[in-house]
Amino acid sequence: MNRLKKNGQSPQKSTISTGTTPGPSLSTGNAVVVRPPLQANRPVPSETYKTALQPRSGAEQYWAARALSAETLLAARVEHHRELRSLSFVEEAKRAKERAMHDARHAKLEKLVLALLAMLFVLMLALLNFVRTSASVPHTRKPPAHFTIPIFSPFTSVVEHETSVIGSKTLTVFAFALAGLAYFASLQGYVGPGRKDISPSCILREGPVGILACQKTF
């Protein structure tokens, strides 16, 4: 009390001098700290309050600059992380779509392989059944399908449902050529020089002009 009287202040005046309304307080040693009351809707600070918050000294300006740079870096890092999350989400969606397409293609290939294996199994069963039935049935000798007709030519053969290498036109031309050669040979044999004619009373002789003449003999 003596100290308060010497200072010229009372506990009530010291409370008023802080500029706050009395409320529940916490005491730490001889110092008195007053807790401000809770407010649901805090008022917007006025221009004078903003002016009072501006840094005055060099230290305040230094720490204010550091706080501003830290806030700027934090905002840039938050934006970077947001972009990374968006890109990772897009990549994950794309990867999931590609995985779904790959799974669908793989399922189709599996179905195709199973179908091919089933067809191969059925073909093997049919082949085994055919071999077994053909082995049990007695074999009958069939007539030969390839035979030769010597009337046309010794080089020509007739095959069922097939054609010969030498066609009919070639055979006809060849036959006419042989006939012409035979006829020419027969003419050379009968009409040659020094040969007698068919008639016994006529002999062919070469005249002065080179024309064959028939000289009758009696």
Confidence label for 13 from pLDDT (cuts 50, 70 and 90):
very low
Q: Regarding predicted confidence, which is higher, 160 or 34?
A: 34
Q: Is the pLDDT of residue 77 over 50?
A: yes
Confidence label for 169 from pLDDT (cuts 50, 70 and 90):
confident
- The model's pLDDT over 171-209, given as tens digits with 9 standing for 90+, comes to 788 888 888 888 877 777 655 555 444 444 455 555 554
Confidence label for 101 from pLDDT (cuts 50, 70 and 90):
very high
Q: Regarding predicted confidence, which is higher, 216 or 142?
A: 142
Confidence label for 131 from pLDDT (cuts 50, 70 and 90):
confident
Q: Is the pLDDT of residue 76 over 90?
A: yes
- The model's pLDDT over 19-32, given as tens digits with 9 standing for 90+, comes to 444 444 444 445 55
- The model's pLDDT over 88-98, given as tens digits with 9 standing for 90+, comes to 999 999 999 99
What is the three-state SS of the chain?
CHHHHHHCCCHHHHHHHCCCCCCCEEEECCEEEECCCCCCCCCCCCHHHHHHHCCCCHHHHHHHHHHHHHHHHHHHHHHHHHHHHHHHHHHHHHHHHHHHHHHHHHHHHHHHHHHHHHHHHHHHHHHHHHHHHHHHCCCCCCCCCEECCCCCCCCCCEECCCCCCCCHHHHHHHHHHHHHHHHHHHHHHHHCCCCECCCCCEEEEECCCCCEEEEECC
